[in-house]
Structure 1
Amino acid sequence: MFDTLPRPEVQGLRMSRIREVANAGLGRNDILAFWFGESDQPTPDFIREPAARALLDGRTFYTHNLGRADVRDSLSGYLTRLHDAPIGVGRVAVTSAGVNAIQLAAQLVVSPGDRVVEVGPIWPNVPEIPKILSASVEMVPLEPAQGRWRLDLDRLVDALTPGTKALVINSPNNPTGWMIPAEDRAAILERCRRLGVWLICDDVYERLTFDRPTAPSFLPLTTPEDRIIGTNSFSKAWRMTGWRLGWMVVPPKLMDGLGVLIEYNTSCAPGFVQEGAKAALDHGDSYVASVRAELVAARDQVLSALRAMPGVEAPRPDGGFYAFFRVEGCTDSLALCKDMIDKVGLGLAPGSAFGEEGEGWIRWCFAARPGKNAAGLERLATYLASR
């Protein structure tokens, strides 16, 4: 008799501990939730309305595998302006979500048995995707130092050994808010070039920075022939998490293969959803600036309160919309987060969800209105005082 189990690589995948905590609070209307990485405000009207009109006009048919031509053209122009470097339309493609872009990037270049290096802690989907493809993943950890998160550049470069297939960097980083220093890019890129390592950049938070319009990017330093793949999403900067739309920047020689992969994964992104994306790209710069200003205020509100609580360590994030903090004596972040749900109705994400490097830490998504953040901070203070 044959069993009905999935293949071993799928059995070995980690369940999302963020979802595990969230599931523990489902059905309760007294929970203040900060566990998911999204704003508590909806997508703005100037994006929703064109998409709604396209849907009502019946634009519900298949589109090109790589995305609508006008949307790809807008993406090319947007990226060229943002990075002050030419990003031609022949290098960009629209995907069905940012995580789909990461999955496609791995499918393009990672084979069974390959070695992938990633900087962590990191959103759990990113290290699990290569494992689905029967590759191995090695983490280079970020570390807190002088009140911020730091990367040991030498340690990362040394981890890129001959035979390494890919390096994945998420900057600004989820969950820590670490952002790669501009001066570190050249050494990483040189090492990848010398060894033929693919560099996969998860740039989903690149516009959500606190001291500049955009995070340092590898794209301006590279040529179309470099082994670099940029993945991104409309979710965060334009508050479009539920739209499930992203994009990729790839070498031109990958584009034909990417189109085939998209066909066999999702076929295409919905046309009416892309209508909203075009509005975001063409008219959304001032909106992104306003989101960034709100996040600066939210970061300061949450971080100052956390740092005032006894026994709490909270390094300062450089970008994104998370505070990654730890409570003295915490060795099981999953149990702690579940206990906070039970005791004070506070929903946070356990650091262990982001790998071994995150154990003992807790993630707070502060992309919320000031009143909600304040109420959550009060509940946390109450909980810590009762421990």
Structure 2
Amino acid sequence: MTVSRLRGIPGIGVDRVGDAADQLCDPDVLRLENLDTDLRPPAAALARTHEAIDDDAANSYLPFTGLRSLREAAAARVGRSAGVEYDAASECIVSAGGLAGILNVLLAIVEPGDEVVLTDPTYAGLINRVHLAGGIPRFARLNAGPQGWRLDLDSLAAAIGPRTKALLIMSPSMPSGFVLSRDEWLAIAAHCESRGMWLVYDAAMERILFDGRSVVHPASFPGMRDRTITVGAVSKEYRMIGWRVGWIVGPESIMNDVRLVSLSNVVCQVGIAMGGASAALTAADDGVASAVAEWEGRRDFLMDALSDLPVIRPHGGWSMLVDTRRLGVEPPDASRLLLEHGKVAATPMTGWGPEADRYLRFVFANEPVSRLQDLRERIRRSWRT
């Protein structure tokens, strides 16, 4: 019998599509189903990670809250984005990847039955972690328009109730590529201030912004430093998915509880990976700008190549959504047909929000434009569109 905390968790779907693509063992398959990237990590991070293999100090559980150098780098990184200062010793903890950090934060702030507001659509893994923490997910709708996604502020207000403990917001958000505007952040900040709620900010893709956008960090708004808990990682911006290193930065008032959860949950981070993560955060050239330019170019190519399809323009991140229901194809069927007839792996958004199940996701971070050239033709022969 399934325990209650697993009810309402269907999985994320990416695993099933990825397994099906792997079984084909065909290099012609376009891997658009998973948030991977073919772009290399920073050279300094690679060099320091190689050194860590022979560093006995890296082969250790200690320190449990993360290397001091990494905590200092992460606290400084978040502080620069927010325009405020954080103390690395008392306001920063290293986590075993960003999502482990999200779960640890939720376990530290959510009582069973508390509500947590997310956007719709959003990453199924965030929704699932709310369930695992004993919380109840509520949703603020994202509206798709000709220029991209916008947060429905009326839907946001309606999602917040007397049991709302926190808002869990990612920007840029996956799977949509939605990037909050300053006015949308201000609306969120006003709700947090008036209701005394936490804002858990998933900053995993914070700098992956297109069309000249710049970072707006919610802790930069008046009163929000003491209500915002920022969770970041080296996985996306720094192209270091396999390192499994993240960080949690927030006010001292909550960070001791987060530390206790961290010690009781994953305990510690990947020892041989932390030095490389620190090197990435402090590198003279972290490669983020050039990587973002490449990903933006791929976004632009796909928006042009798929211009006759109901694709919503992402303003950042690694992926975009196509409304296959408008084409008369349900996303699970669209995914199956694409793999069978077009050799394209793409994930249906079942479980990624109440209204997300009409979309199929294309990840553009893992395939160069040279391999994407015939994507529209592959779709045409799969869906007859």
User: TM-score range, shorter-chain basis?
Assistant: over 0.9
**Other-structure match for 1:9:** 5
2:16 paired residue number: 20
Tell me how far apart the structure 2 counterparts of residues 347 and 374 of structure 1 sit (CA, whole Å): 15
Q: CA deviation at 1:155?
A: 2.3
Query: When the two structures are superposed, what TM-score results if normalisation uses the length of structure 2?
Result: 0.92
State the 1:186 CA deviation: 2.1
Counterparts in 2 of 1:317 and 1:225: CA distance versus 1, 3 Å: closer
Q: How does 1:154-193 map to 2 (within 5 A)?
A: 154-193=154-193
Deviation at 1:153, TM superposition (A): 1.4
Deviation (angstroms), 1:181: 0.6
* Corresponding residue of 1:205: 205
AA partner of residue 345 (structure 2):
G
Matches within 5 A, 1:141-160: 141-160=141-160
2:76 equivalent to 1:65: no
Partner residue of 1:340? 338
* Deviations, residues 61-118 of structure 1 (Å, cap 9, x unaligned): 1222221111111112222333333233232211001110110111011111111111
Mapped contact 2:82–2:218 kept (Cα < 8 A) = no
Output the CA distance in 1 between the equivalents of 2:111 and 2:146: 39
Q: Distance in 1 between matches of 2:188 and 2:349?
A: 27
In structure 1, C-alpha distance between the alignment counterparts of 2:202 and 2:124, rounded to whole Å:
13
Superposition deviation, residue 283 in structure 1: 0.7
Q: C-alpha distance in 2, partners of 1:280/1:377?
A: 36
Identity within the alignment, %: 26
* 1: CA distance, partners of 2:222 / 2:274: 28
CA deviation after TM superposition for structure 1 residue 373, in Å:
2.2
Which amino acid letter does the alignment assign opposite residue 343 of structure 1?
A: H
- Report the alpha carbon displacement of residue 45 of structure 1 after superposing the two structures with TM: 3.0
Give the Cα–Cα distance (whole angstroms) in 2 for the partners of residues 371 and 146 of structure 1.
27
Between 245-254 and 72-81, the greater mean CA deviation after superposition: 72-81
Corresponding position of 1:97? 97
After TM superposition, the structure 1 = structure 2 runs for residues 297-376 of structure 1, keeping only pairs within 5 Å, are: 297-307=297-307, 309=308, 312-327=309-324, 328-367=326-365, 368-376=367-375
* CA-CA distance at 1:225 after TM superposition: 6.2
Instruction: Give 1:151 deviation, angstroms.
Output: 1.0
Cross-structure match for 1:220: 220
Q: Match of 2:263, SS? A: helix
For residue 329 of structure 1, report the CA deviation from its aligned partner: 2.9
Render the CA deviation track for 1:183-205: whole Å, top value 9, x for unaligned: 22222212111111111111111
- Say whether the 8 Å CA contact 2:199–2:228 is kept in structure 1: yes
SS in 2 for 1:354: coil
The aligned residue for residue 137 of structure 2 is 137
User: Which contiguous aligned blocks of 4+ residues in structure 1 show a shift greater than 6 angstroms?
Assistant: none
Q: Is the 8 A contact 1:157 1:188 kept in 2?
A: no
| Alpha-carbon contact 1:117-1:159 (below 8 Å) kept | yes
User: Which region of structure 1 is more displaced relative to structure 2, 274-283 or 224-233?
Assistant: 224-233
Counterparts of 1:124 and 1:18, CA distance in 2:
10
Worse-matched range after superposition: 30-39 or 5-14: 5-14
Give, in whole Å, the separation in 1 of the partners of 2:248 and 2:134: 23
Secondary structure at 1:382 match in 2: helix
Q: Deviations over 1:269-309 (max 9, x none)?
A: 123211011111011655101111111111101111111x4
RMSD of the TM alignment (CA)? 1.9
Query: Which runs of no fewer than 5 residues in structure 2 stay unpaired?
Result: none
TM-score, normalised on structure 1?
0.92
Change over 3 Å in CA distance of 1:348–1:56 after alignment to 2: same
Alignment size in residue pairs: 379
- Unaligned 5+ runs, structure 1: none
Q: 1:286 to 1:231 in 2, by over 3 A?
A: closer
Tell me which moved more, 45-54 or 329-338. 329-338
Structure 1 residue 32: Cα displacement? 1.6
Say which SS state the counterpart of residue 322 (structure 2) adopts.
strand
> Alpha carbons of 1:129 and 1:286: their partners in 2 closer, same or farther (altered >3 Å)?
closer
Q: Which amino acid aligns with 1:318?
A: H
